[in-house]
Each structure stands twice: as structure tokens, then as C-alpha cells.
């Protein structure tokens, strides 16, 4: 049985475009939400360097990085003084 009171081709095309747009907006929204949540967690991790321009490790000098490693106990005092002397020699 043929039903002739439908939307026609224009209606079906608009419905298809609307469905594709709906799914595209939904997927982009989910991806944006995941990136936002992951980005806020990354900024809150202790000990991780900040991005460039926000006082990150790229903006600090080699001497302050060396001092930070010494303060954390990664290197001993002798190594700290030796490396600091080398850094100051090559300025």
C-alpha cells in the first residue's frame, strides 16, 4: 500500500542533515568536555612544569633548576656546587 502524504524528498533530506548535525555537535561536545577535564587535571598535578609563558620550566634559568634539584635531594651538595660552577663559567 502506497502512502502519498509524506514529506517528500526535501523533508527527508532536511531530516538527514539535522541528524548528521546533531551527532556532530554531540561528538564535538563530548570531545571538548573530555579535553577540558583532562586539561584541568593536568594543571593541578604537583611537580609538573607549567606551560610556556606561565612561569614554566622554559622561563626559569638553569641555576634555578639546579637549585630545585638540590632542594629535592636529587643531587648532593658537591655535585650542586660543581655544576653551578660550570654553569657560571659558560655565561
What is d(CA 49, CA 25) in angstroms, rounded to the nearest whole number?
A: 33
Digit-coded pLDDT (tens) for 31-78: 999 999 888 766 655 555 544 444 444 446 888 898 999 999 999 999
C-alpha cell at 33: 568536555
Quote the pTM value: 0.42
Cell of 29: 561536545
- Provide the residue ranges of all domains of the chain, joining segments of one domain with +: 7-47, 60-91
* Whole-angstrom distance, CA of residue 7 vs CA of residue 10: 7
Residue whose C-alpha cell reads 586539561 in the numeric block: 39
**Given 3-state DSSP classes, what are the helix, strand and coil percentages for the chain, each rounded to the nearest 5?**
65, 0, 35
Q: CA-CA distance, 12 to 2, in Å (whole number)?
A: 17
Amino acid at each position: 500500500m502506497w502512502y502519498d502524504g509524506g514529506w517528500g524528498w526535501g523533508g527527508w533530506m532536511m531530516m538527514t542533515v539535522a541528524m548528521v548535525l546533531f551527532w556532530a555537535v554531540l561528538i564535538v561536545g563530548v570531545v571538548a568536555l573530555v579535553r577540558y577535564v583532562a586539561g584541568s587535571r593536568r594543571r593541578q598535578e604537583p611537580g609538573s612544569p607549567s606551560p610556556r609563558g606561565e612561569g614554566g620550566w622554559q622561563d626559569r634559568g638553569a641555576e634555578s633548576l639546579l637549585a630545585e634539584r638540590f632542594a629535592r635531594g636529587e643531587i648532593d651538595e658537591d655535585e650542586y656546587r660543581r655544576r653551578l660552577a660550570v654553569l657560571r663559567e659558560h655565561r
